[in-house]
Structures are given as structure tokens and as C-alpha cells.
Amino acid sequence: MMLSTLLLTLLSTLALAAPEPCTTSQSYQTTPLSELCTYICAASPIEDCGRGWYSKQQGSCWACCKSAVPPIPLPSPPKPERCTRVCAPEAIQDCPQDWYSKQNGGCWSCCSAISPVPPPSPKPERCARVCAAAEIQDCAEGWYSKQQGGCWSCCQSE
């Protein structure tokens, strides 16, 4: 008799301490298309919702949710290019070989992709004592344009 009274007391205590059950409508109260949530109704935050999912309280329940809108990819950085200082009112048809016509604002000019700067050579280099404000396009054969601080000059590996 004492065991049954103890068991009955224990069960009633557990029933009173249990969280109220969630209904389906409680566990899915999100703005349409803003996020997706599972129909799980946990009494406390969920530790492992999975990659891309997070624990979120929905009324008296905790559910796993994730954004329904895929993240917007970041645009790739523009490729470095050089353009002529020409402002034509329409696309230029006769750009030099390996150059292309490009619109910059209201002007059209001929542009070319800039090849990456050569990696520093392990050998010492010799540079002309010239300080140009912009990259030098017409270095002698075997020489290359190199920026040194605020100056551009022509250099050659020795």
C-alpha cells in the first residue's frame, strides 16, 4: 500500500512538472518563406540541429529552424584592367588585338585585362631610375613594369 501511494505521488509530481505539450501550430509560427522549422517540440534548446540549422523557441516549444532564402552570393571582385583614355559615345569596333570595348559610365573605351604581377624573382633585379605615376606600358624587351612604393619603373632580373 505504501509503495502504491509513493508511486502515485511520484507520477502526479512528474505530470505537474512536465512542460505543456506543443501543438503543430505552436511549433511552426514563422513568417512565410523566411525560415523553415521542424515540427519537433522540445522542452529546452536543441543542441544538435545539424549544419545550417539553429535552435529557436516557438511558443513553449523549441524547434530546429533554418533560413528558407538561400544566402546571396557575393559578387566576385572585378578583374584588374587598363583602359584607354577615350570617351566614345558608342561601342568601339576597332580596339587593338586582345582588347575589348567597354562602357564606363556614359563613355566607351578600349580595355585590356592586366596580367598578374610576376612573382618576385629569387635573383636580384635592376630597375631604371624612373618614377612614373602610372604603370609603364612600353618597357624595353626583357624588362617589366614594377610598382615600387608610389612609383612605377621598368625592371629586369639579373
What pLDDT, in 10s, does the model give residues 42-61?
899 998 898 889 999 988 89
- Assign 38 to helix, strand or coil: coil
Q: What pLDDT score does 25 carry?
A: 42
pLDDT of residue 118: 64
Q: Would you state the pLDDT for residue 85?
A: 81
Residue at 147: amino acid letter:
Q
At 127, is the secondary structure helix, strand, or coil? strand
- Chain position carrying cell 509530481: 13
Q: What is the mean pLDDT of residues 5-23?
A: 41
Order of strands, sheet of 81-83, starting from the edge strand that comes earlier in the sequence: 81-83, 107-113, 100-104
> Is the pLDDT assigned to residue 14 strictly greater than 50?
no
What does the block give as the cell for 39? Answer: 515540427
| Residue 15: band (very low, low, confident or very high) from pLDDT cuts 50, 70, 90 | very low
